[in-house]
Chain A
Amino acid sequence: MATRTTTGPVAGREYRSDHEGFLRHRHFRWLKIATLLSVICIAAYFLTDPRPRPGGGTWIGYTLGTIGALLIVWLSLLGIRKRAITEGRWSLKAWTSAHVYLGLSLIVVATLHTGFQLGWNVHTLAYALMMLVILSGMFGIWAYATLPSALSSNREQMTQGQMIDAIRALDRQLDEAAQPLARGPSDLVLEALGEDPFAPGLWRRLSGNYRNCATQKAIEGLARLGDQDAAVERVEKLLVRRKAHLERLRRHMRLKSMLEVWLYVHVPATMALLAALTAHIVSVFYYW
């Protein structure tokens, strides 16, 4: 669904419902610009024949390096743009769109800038960090493009707070319903209640694999009791509901983490890249 509409006769102010995602923004404007930039860089690289050999020290190398450095600095400014809510006709979506496509074109610009001369030095470190930033960014694009609808379907109009409240409410009911139970089963219930959905680490959250789920264990434990009275049955039903809610919350946290986790590589690596880039530029001019 990519549409632009202006309203009919009633509204005087022009309402634009610019309903396009950041990838398709303005009919792929920034994809086109980034492609053009890459093509020009490639053409320039192959149409010139620098002596003694291609690299950062030739005039084409300096040009590409300047473009690349400026791009890197500009791309990192997205972090500030996102947070500085100033007045003006800017759109963060346009920025994101440009960030994505120009960031990808950096692969071409910077690689050509190296002239394929890589080694164990600060220059290659900057290059490697840049590639790390770009790769994590590509994961981000994938996540942003595919996960939101799953996140939306999973939460079924509930907010995260409501999911937690729902579990808390079940916990209160479980706590009361479990009072008549014998020591063994009630220990199982207590353990399930003591389980903090937020406690397990990042890895577990991302994988969505909770092997030692106490609620699951309690359900199995109660099922093993065999013939059951009404109280046990009630607790079991509540536990099954708790499990369902817990699973929804876990899926929610998993998707949210996947949408965020790459930033924990992307942003620190950008900081490191900016430092390495500075070192690279200073050293080049120092030893000129």
Chain B
Amino acid sequence: MIGWHGKGEGVKDRVRIAIVGSGPAGLSAAGRAARLGMSHVLLEKTDHLSDTIFKYQKGKHVMATPSSLVLRSDFDFDAGKREQVLGTWEEQAAAGAITVRYNAEVTRIEGEKGAFVLTLKDGGTLEAEAVILAIGTQGNPNKLRCEGADLPHIQYQLDDPTEYIDEHITVVGTGDAGIENALGLAADPAQGNVVTILNRGAEFARAKEANVKLLTEAQAAGRVIVRNETTPAEVRPGQLVLDTRDGQETIRCDRIIARTGSAPPRKFVEDCGIAFTSPEREAFPVLSPVFETTRPGIHVIGALAGYPLIKHCMNQGYDVVEFLNGNTRLKPADEPILAEKFAALPGSRSVDEWLELLGSRIEIFRDISPLQLRELMLDSGVAAFRKGEAVFERNEIGSSLFAIAEGSVAVEVNKDDPSITVPIAQGSIFGEVGLISGRRRGATIRAAEDLIVVELSRSAALKMMATAPAAAKVVNRISIERQLLQIFGSGLTREDVAELVDGAEVQELRANEVLMKEGDEGADIFIIRRGSMIVEREIGGKPVFLSYLAAGAYVGEMAVIDGSRRSATVRAAIKSEVIRLPGEAFVRLLERKPQLRRKAFEEMERRREINAFVEGRKENFSSVVDMYSQTAQFLVDNGIGEATDVLLIDETLCVGCDNCEKACADSHDGLSRLDREAGTTYAHLHVPTSCRHCEHPHCMADCPPNAIQRGPDGEVFIDETCIGCGNCQRNCPYGVIRMDSVPPKKPSILSWLFLGKGPGPGEPSKDWRKKHAEGAEKPKQAIKCDMCAGIDGGPSCVRACPTGAAIRVSPEAFLSVAKLAEGE
């Protein structure tokens, strides 16, 4: 066996297994290989183990979720501080006789199973029978592309800005990283650095506003030199040649810090001959149950395989080496979790039998690999219902997708008469409308016979659709058909709408993109599938806001029915998706179905009335209408278009007492989720920094433990499995998520009032928290508004407002021209 060689001497040139990347997955794989006595080498491109975790900020609390998953690895891992986690691994790597080669970046993998040749960046090569790729998703920083880009004074990271003194330093790139580096280097004038930052454009499009402001200020004070529309042309020792708008220029430069983003590792992986499930950005490599890719002999595990949590990674490292060692009977570590899930179902089948059954029966699972299905099931639930039981009720909040494994269901399409139902058969899906639009359930669904369903959480379903295009297609078609049936309501069958479905086309709209223009001819009608639309008319040369249409509504039918021109302009409030339906097919459908025709005419009449109302008011209340239009536009600009429930403050009533913030803190462990004063204001209507509970929450996009969910009242909340990574905070465009740890408990309000104990109502001060900390500080987690879910009486910010300034509204209620009539 080969011993521990920090610098990599003594590494054999031919090994059984080459493991690329020394993160949790790679490390665990190497640990298992060492324990089994398999010849191996762990290739790490930096000079230390586990670079991603190494780069966490000092003292960061690393969490170990999901807690139900057992750890199966030769390395220990428990929640704790970054240093502690890394220290343990470092020790165990040394003790476990793992062969590591540092500064070994793999650039190419050639050969085939049994005889791979890995080429390293330094030109060296290495032979291996099998390769395990555990390179994560962090990627490599983009290198400078100009002459002299390989000189040693170029660096791609800045660990400690106070390290450098009296240097001429040039930062390339004006994203947040670049700006923060430049500001850090120039922060202390005593360091005597001359800091220049190069911006390729004239604006700072990729950086946070606050950072741009600080940079502009630093520039005004002469602490940082900002060069716009400038790129590096040539790097020389001690000098940098710049391409500026007015030609080339040479400046003194002792150090270059390049922060121009990073390239995802996908290209490298594809270059190795490994296929991905789809061209979508979210797709992962195609893998067999033993983590083998489409190129035999190369295995992919960890975040790159779609498992971002540390425990998953470590288990896979262990498993993949066991598989390579010929242990085919090894069950994945998640087997007990799945077994527990399936145990609740009738019929005693093993996990494998269940997976086989689901995979073969359910239409959307047909093209999914067993490994993917396994993972999908981990994020999903299974449930059995007796005949007649409701799976969900109309108007419930829910964004999960159901697939029928056994039995069938009946959809109660008419809310007034539950006896009218439409069946959905075994193998099909339901609940997809909530998944796509983020809105409430449109109908009650009951088991028509004894039923077994799989419930896929929204994120699991979206991941599946991104990775399996065939599944996405099925979901899409079914959802269009169902949406049509739901909107046009009673009496229609699948056959009736088949012509419309065939002609349907999904169209994406950017925010503010016009769907139809007043006065244009148009023959199509549109269903808003996700996002929302603004309807406006031009009156007296000004656009007047007529109404706001949320997902699920349809528009454009007036022109189709009576052949007139478009009576109003419709544009997207936010990035939206509409289904375009051919007008003639719709007209034919109306002719066949007089009931539907009557309904459509009624709806049209209602819209005409609104138009007439605005037209009529224009003469008398032009300023009121103007004001209303502008206010509505302001709200839409502030993200109300994608909100489902938002806190507004009427500043003609707000006395600035901050009782809303205090109430918020006192209802939620002493931390306020709301910043009243911050935020934008128009015409005394203030949108504070507080969660809008978006239809399609940006925060949910990239949550490793999937801790962000939509609750039963429509609230978007973060549960206790949060690992504190801060992704949601960065993804939220409205800045409403903060990272903090729960402060110690306060004495009661009465003992504060009469005895002066504790910090009083509201969020306790930092000092008080420090003084009264019980033991170690709790880890920081993401916190945000949960609409006071589970608190009787509803949101405490509104209840605690003494003047009635704070109101919570849903946009469709607030942004309706009908408000004008009431508001006078």
The proximity string for A residues 58-88 relative to B, scoring 1 for CB distances below 8 Å and 0 otherwise, is: 0000000000000000000001101111011
Q: Tell me how many residues of B have a C-beta within 8 Å of chain A.
A: 65
* Given known A-B contacts A15-B808, A87-B793, A148-B654, A10 and B679 have beta carbons under 8 A apart: no
Determine if B803 and A89 form an interchain contact, defined as CB atoms under 8 angstroms apart: no
Given contacts A12-B396, A21-B803, contact A259 B655 (CB under 8 A): yes
Contact B221 A87 (CB under 8 A): no
- State how many angstroms separate the Cβ of B219 from the closest Cβ of chain A: 11
Which A residues are in CB contact (< 8 Å) with B786? none
In the complex, the answer to whether A22 meets B803 with C-beta atoms within 8 Å is yes
B792 at the interface (CB under 8 A from A): yes
Whether the pair B667, A85 counts as a contact (CB closer than 8 A) is yes
Complex CA distance for A151 and B659, rounded to whole angstroms: 17
Contact in complex: A149, B804 (CB < 8 Å) = no
Assembly CA distance A173 to B221 (angstroms): 6
Q: Is B813 within 8 A of A5, CB to CB?
A: yes
Q: Select one of B220, B794, B805, B807 contacting A148, CB under 8 A.
A: B805
Contacts of A220 in B (CB 8 A): none
Q: A143–B814 Cα gap in the complex (Å)?
A: 28
Check A148 against B652 for contact (C-beta < 8 Å). Answer: yes
B residues 768-824 near A (Cβ < 8 Å) are 791-794, 796, 798-805, 807-810, 812-814, 816, 819, 822-823
When distances are taken between beta carbons in the complex, the residues of chain B under 8 Å from A20 are 804
Residue of B nearest to A79 (CB): B753
Indicate which residue in B666, B681, B799 contacts A157 across the interface (CB closer than 8 Å): B681
Q: Cα distance A89–B805 when bound, in Å?
A: 18
Q: Which single member of A15, A79, A83, A144 contacts B645 (CB below 8 Å)?
A: A15
Query: Out of B645, B800, B816, which one reaches A85, CB within 8 Å?
Result: B800
A130-164 interface (Cβ within 8 A of B): 143-144, 147-149, 151-153, 155-157, 159-161
Instruction: Determine whether the beta carbon of B802 is less than 8 Å from that of A152.
Output: no
- A35-64: CB near B (< 8 Å → 1, else 0) gives 000000000000000000000000000000
A 83-108 contacts with B by CB, 8 A? 83-85, 87-93, 95-96
The answer on a CB contact under 8 Å between A96 and B440 is no
CA distance A156 to B667 in the complex (A): 30
Contacts A92-B799, A93-B802; A3 near B823 (Cβ below 8 A): yes
A159-B652 in contact given A82-B659, A93-B803, A152-B686 (Cβ < 8 Å): no
A228 contacts the other chain (CB 8 A)? no
CA distance A285 to B24 in the complex (A): 80
Does A172 sit at the interface, judged by CB under 8 A? yes
Does A169 sit at the interface, judged by CB under 8 A?
yes
Measured CA separation A21–B796 after assembly (Å): 17
CB neighbours of A12 from chain B (8 A):
394-397, 440
- Which residues on B sit within 8 Å (CB–CB) of A156? 681
Per-position contact with A for B647-668: 1 when CB-CB < 8 Å, else 0?
A: 0001111111101001100110
Q: Is B552 an interface residue (CB 8 A)?
A: yes
Q: Which residues of B contact A2 (CB under 8 A)?
A: 823
A90 in complex: contacting residue of B799, B810, B822, CB < 8 Å: B799
Q: Is A229's CB within 8 Å of the partner chain B?
A: no
Q: Does B439 sit at the interface, judged by CB under 8 A?
A: yes
**Chain A hits for B650, CB < 8 A:** 1, 19, 21
Q: Which residues of B contact A160 (CB under 8 A)?
A: 677
Interface size class of A (residues with CB under 8 A): 35 or more
B802 engages A17 (CB within 8 Å): no
Knowing A92-B802, A172-B221, say if A148 contacts B655 (CB, 8 Å).
yes
User: Nearest CB to that of B677 among chain A residues?
Assistant: A159
Nearest-neighbor residue (CB-CB) of B213 within chain A: A169
> Considering the chains assembled together, what is the distance between the CA atoms of A176 and B802 in angstroms?
46
Contacts of A1 in B (CB 8 A): 650, 823
B714 at the interface (CB under 8 A from A): yes
Q: Is B3 an interface residue (CB 8 A)?
A: no
Contact among A17, A80, A152, A153 for B809, CB-based, below 8 A: A17
A230 at the interface (CB under 8 A from B): no
- The residue on A at minimum CB distance from B796 is A85
With A3-B823, A147-B655, A256-B656: A83-B753 Cβ-Cβ less than 8 Å: yes
Given A11-B440, A84-B749, A169-B217, A148-B651 contact (CB < 8 Å): yes
B813 partner, pick from A17, A79, A84, beta carbons under 8 A: A17
Contacting residues, chain A, for B70 (C-beta < 8 A): none
Inter-chain contact B714/A144, CB cutoff 8 Å? no
Q: Mark B390-401, 1 if CB is under 8 A from A, else 0.
A: 000011110000
Q: Residue B666 contacts which of A11, A85, A89, A159 (CB distance < 8 angstroms)?
A: A85
Contacts of B686 in A (CB 8 A): 152
In the assembled complex, the Cα of A80 lies from the Cα of B800 at a distance in Å of 12
Q: Residue B481 at the A interface, CB < 8 A? A: no
Interface check B508, CB cutoff 8 A: no
A123 at the interface (CB under 8 A from B): no
With both chains docked as a complex, state the minimum distance between the C-beta of A31 and any C-beta of chain B, in angstroms. 15
Complex contact A157–B652 (CB within 8 A): no
Known: A5-B814, A12-B396, A92-B801. A149 touches B655 (CB 8 A): no
Known interface pairs A85-B800, A259-B656. Does A17 touch B808 (Cβ–Cβ under 8 Å)? yes
> When the two chains form their complex, are residues B813 and A15 in contact, meaning their CB atoms are under 8 A apart?
yes
| Residues in B whose Cβ lies below 8 Å from that of A15 | 645, 808-810, 813
Q: Is B684 on the interface with A (CB-CB < 8 A)? A: yes
- Interchain CB contact (< 8 A) of A149 among B222, B652, B659: B652
A8 at interface (Cβ–Cβ under 8 A)?
yes
Is B802 in contact with A22, judged by CB distance below 8 angstroms?
A: yes
Asked if B713 is at the interface of the complex by the 8 Å CB criterion, the answer is yes
> Is A207 interfacial (CB-CB < 8 Å)?
no
Q: Does B192 make an interface contact (CB < 8 A)?
A: no
Q: CB-defined interface of A1-37 with B at 8 Å, one 1/0 digit per residue?
A: 1110111101111010111111001000000000000
**Which partner residue on chain A sits nearest B712 by CB separation?**
A13
Q: Which among B397, B652, B819 is the interface contact of A5 at CB below 8 angstroms?
A: B819
Whether A152 pairs with B684 at a CB distance below 8 angstroms is yes
Complex interface: chain A residues within 8 A of B823 (CB): 1-3
CA distance in complex: A18, B795 (Å) = 13
For A96, list chain B residues within 8 Å (CB). Answer: 802-803
Tell yes or no: B707 within 8 A of A by CB: no
A-chain residues with CB within 8 Å of residue B812 when the two chains form the complex: 7-8, 10-11
Complex interface: chain A residues within 8 A of B655 (CB): 143-144, 147-148, 151, 259
> When chains A and B are docked, how far (Å) is the Cα of A90 from the Cα of B793?
7
Nearest-neighbour CB distance to chain B for A150, whole angstroms, equals 10
A4 closest partner in B (C-beta): B822
Q: A7-B812, A15-B810, A92-B659 are in contact. Are A87 and B792 (CB under 8 A)?
A: yes
Decide if B761 is an interface residue (CB 8 Å cutoff): yes
Q: How far is the CA of A208 from the CA of B792 in the complex (A)?
A: 44
Identify A7's interface contact among B657, B659, B804, B810, CB under 8 A. Answer: B810
Contact indicator A83/B761 (Cβ below 8 Å): yes
Q: How far is the CA of A96 from the CA of B659 in the complex (A)?
A: 13
Q: CB within 8 Å of A: which of B412-465?
A: 439-440
Bound: A6/B810 CA distance, A? 9
In the assembled complex, the Cα of A149 lies from the Cα of B652 at a distance in Å of 4
In whole angstroms, how far apart are the Cα atoms of A86 and B260 in the complex?
A: 51
Contacting pair B807 A18 (CB below 8 A): yes
Q: Separation in Å of the A255 CB from the closest CB of chain B?
A: 8
List the B side residues contacting A155 at CB < 8 Å: 677
A10 in contact with B550 (CB, 8 Å): yes
For the complex, what is the distance from the CA of A92 to the CA of B259, rounded to whole Å?
A: 51
Q: Shortest beta-carbon distance, A170 to chain B, in Å? A: 10
Q: A-side interface residues toward B, CB under 8 Å? A: 1-3, 5-8, 10-13, 15, 17-22, 25, 79-80, 82-85, 87-93, 95-96, 143-144, 147-149, 151-153, 155-157, 159-161, 169, 172-173, 176, 256, 259
> Nearest 9 A-B pairs (CB), nearest first?
A12-B395, A152-B651, A159-B677, A7-B813, A85-B666, A93-B804, A87-B792, A17-B809, A83-B761
Task: Beyond the given A12-B397, A93-B801, A148-B655, please list 15 additional residue pairs across the A-B interface where CB-CB is below 8 A.
Answer: A3-B823, A7-B812, A20-B804, A21-B803, A82-B800, A83-B761, A85-B663, A85-B666, A91-B799, A92-B802, A143-B655, A148-B803, A157-B679, A173-B217, A259-B655
5 A–B contacts from the bound complex (CB under 8 Å): A5-B822, A7-B812, A8-B812, A17-B809, A89-B793
